Amino acid sequence: MPSPDSVLFIGNATTLIRCNGFTLLTDPNFLHRGQRAYLGYGLTSRRRTDPALEIGELPALDAVVLSHLHGDHWDRVARRGLDRDTPIVTTPQAARRLRRQGFGAATGLEVWHDTALRRRGGGTVQITALPARHAPGPAQWLLPPVMGSMLEFRDLHDRVALRLLISGDTLMDHRLLASIPIRFPDIDVAVVHLGGTKLLGMLLVTMTGEQGARWVHLMNPRTVLPVHYDDYTVFTSPLEDFQRHAEEAGVADRVHCLARGESRPLPVRPASPTTPGRPRRADDA
């Protein structure tokens, strides 16, 4: 198990985030190599890899952060194996479906809305839903709504100790996404979903390596952790594409590629009790 204040890469878009006393799981996908994820409209994709952990090996969770309801982000193993009292933060549409499945603590967030988890005698984590687009033009209405997420871990003085951005399964759309780094400057870590996923071999629904490098340049995080790039047969843009474009964009020094089962410490800002309160954000004026 990872040390406190770390991100463990389990596989696909599934990570285990430990920070500020919280343990969060993202986009739980525990299918094994050879099994198929269901993507809707009769479409499936075969998994090429195994997850680094089995669902029964997970520690106690404070919440699940779920970008959307696709079979490679929320699968039948997660549905059967997760405690149904676990809070799940996701889109409104996904939350309604999850509640019908028995996950009564599912919370749906509209874009720019947030919810907070609090620890008695400790800090908080505020989760904000961010804009994302899973397909171009009208095709987006054929896919489940998707969200990015900003996780802000705050200390006892309500000071932001870490900002962690999760892209979600989005395409790079400057007009849609440009407000994210304006509202949330000073991003410490960004988890970027890549893969150049194509449905029916032609409809692009996640960022290619080139788009991912432009996304990093726009968001301007200190550290970048790429995920969601080779686990399924629908992925067409390998990690090497992203690494090459990141080099061309001058952001390669920020990119840290984790093997499945590998963890990376999180750069939590040291406590500063003499400066309580959160830093001003660009939209606070």
Query: What is the mean pLDDT of the segment spanning 5-28?
Result: 97
CA dist 159 and 164 (Å) reads 14
Buried b (16+ CB within 10 A) or exposed e, 15-48: bbbbbbebbbbbbbbbbeeeebbebeeeeebebe
Residue 280 placed within a domain: no
The pLDDT score that the predictor gives to residue 273 is: 55
pLDDT tens digits, residue range 139-149? 677 789 999 99
Retrieve residue 157's tokens.
């003085």
The pLDDT score that the predictor gives to residue 175 is: 96
Residue 96 placed within a domain: yes
pLDDT at 234 over 80: yes
pLDDT tens digits, residue range 186-213? 999 999 999 999 987 788 999 999 999 9
Domain count, the chain: 1
pLDDT at 280 over 70: no
Residue 269 placed within a domain: no
Closest by Cα among 104, 96, 92, 198 to 147: 92
Least confident of 63-67, 209-213, 214-218, 278-282: 278-282
> Maximum CA pair distance of the chain?
58
Question: In this structure, which amino acid lies at residue 85?
Answer: D
The pLDDT score that the predictor gives to residue 272 is: 61
More confident site: 272 or 203: 203
Neighbouring CB atoms inside 10 A of 124's CB total 17
Please compute, for residue 185, the number of CA atoms within 13 A of its CA located in the half-sphere on the CB side.
Answer: 8
Query: What is the mean pLDDT of the segment spanning 11-39?
Result: 96
Residue 76 placed within a domain: yes
H helix runs in the chain, sequence order: 76-81, 92-100, 174-177, 179-183, 209-219, 239-249
Residue 262 placed within a domain: no
Query: What is the mean pLDDT of the segment spanning 100-118?
Result: 97
Q: Taking a C-beta distance cutoff of 8 angstroms, is the pair 231, 49 a contact?
A: yes
Residue 159 placed within a domain: yes
Retrieve residue 50's tokens.
């195994």
| Helix, strand, coil share (%) of the chain residues, nearest 5 | 20, 30, 50
Residue 90 placed within a domain: yes
Q: Which CATH number covers residue 218?
A: 3.60.15.10
pLDDT at 120 over 80: no
CA dist 45 and 283 (Å) reads 41
Least confident of 5-9, 131-135, 144-148, 243-247: 131-135
pLDDT at 275 over 50: no
Host domain of residue 221: 6-257
pLDDT at 224 over 60: yes
**How far out from the chain centre does Cα 156 lie?**
25
pLDDT at 77 over 60: yes
pLDDT at 36 over 90: yes
Three-class SS of residue 127?
A: strand
Q: Taking a C-beta distance cutoff of 8 angstroms, is the pair 177, 30 a contact?
A: no
Counting residues of the chain whose pLDDT is more than 90, the rounded percentage is 82
Residue 284 placed within a domain: no
pLDDT at 2 over 70: no
pLDDT at 278 over 50: no
